[in-house]
Amino acid sequence: MTQTIEPRRPRRRPDGQRIKPLNRLIENDLIRKVSADEYRSKVKRVYGGPKGAFLTTCSMLSLHIPLGERIFRARKFDLRGARAVLDVGSGAGQIAGHVLKYSDPEATLTCTDLSHQMLRRARRRLAEKSRRPSRFVAADLAHLPFADGSFDCITCGYVLEHLPDPEPGLREMARVLEPGGRMFLLTTEDNFSGAWTSRLWYCRTYNRGELKRLCEKLGLEWSQEIWFTKMHKAMRAGGICVEIVRQ
């Protein structure tokens, strides 16, 4: 009898996205192997511990803080006119610091993070940069504790990749963002550098085209793709960085 050997199926994430072969060897796939609660607890331990304390230094060494600031300083994402800004997954306050510096003085800022320890770090760091009062709320991206349309601007940097399926998080941000409101979204892409980011921070990666289609399904239109530099654009590096408008 001749045995039929079935071709090996490409590994896919919970939301159906295919993982590229090279990335499969590098990416950390803990997010696929454990329950949502177990994974959430792991992320909280990672960011609340020594690695989280080193996050700001890592962001400086990788140039994400200075290059990120350039985006706001050059008004590639223009914070002027925003009245109520939500910074989702504030971490050590890297993006929140840019918001305080480049938004209007009367704009309010609310910072959220899953980790209480990271919020404490953000509070200390932002207090050194600005005397403007900010609100700090421990919250899960998939269950934001805010009313519909509470904000006219959202910033979310390197947070969405900590969800096995991006739809609940995107849907929540769309819910709390008022119609016509704008979002700055930065997340890890499914390329070689993104795979190494995944290994270091226990996160997943996203395919640019598939993420864009999901956003459109939720009424979140990509109004522009943003790149740190021309070199980043040419090399398709730096992750997925986009300005989004809620329809």
Task: Tell whether 4 is covered by a domain.
Answer: no
Task: Tell whether 49 is covered by a domain.
Answer: yes
Per-residue b or e along 37-52, where b marks 16 or more CB atoms closer than 10 Å to that residue's CB? eebbeebbebbbeeeb
- Structure-token pair, residue 153: 């601007």
| Selection from 164, 231, 242 nearest residue 203 by Cα | 164
Task: Tell whether 61 is covered by a domain.
Answer: yes
Cβ within 8 Å of residue 127, ≥6 positions away: none
pLDDT at res. 227: 96
Identity at 3, one-letter amino acid code: Q
Task: Tell whether 3 is covered by a domain.
Answer: no
pLDDT at res. 4: 42
Task: Tell whether 222 is covered by a domain.
Answer: yes
Q: How far apart are the first and last CA of the chain?
A: 60
Count up the domains in the chain and report the number: 1
pLDDT at res. 5: 40
pLDDT in tens, the chain (247 residues): 444 444 444 455 555 556 566 676 788 889 989 998 899 899 888 888 877 776 667 666 567 788 999 999 999 999 999 999 999 999 889 999 999 999 999 999 999 999 998 899 999 999 988 888 899 999 999 999 999 999 999 999 999 999 999 999 999 999 999 999 999 999 999 998 899 889 988 999 999 999 999 999 999 999 999 999 999 899 888 899 999 999 9
DSSP 8-state code for residue 136: E
In this structure, what CATH number is given to the domain that contains residue 39? 3.40.50.150
DSSP 8-state code for residue 22: H
CB 114 within 8 A of CB 44: yes
Task: Give the structural domain span for 77.
Answer: 21-246
CB 27 within 8 A of CB 207: no
Task: Tell whether 9 is covered by a domain.
Answer: no
Identity at 246, one-letter amino acid code: R
pLDDT at res. 20: 63
Task: Tell whether 7 is covered by a domain.
Answer: no
pLDDT at res. 48: 80
DSSP 8-state code for residue 183: E
Task: Tell whether 45 is covered by a domain.
Answer: yes
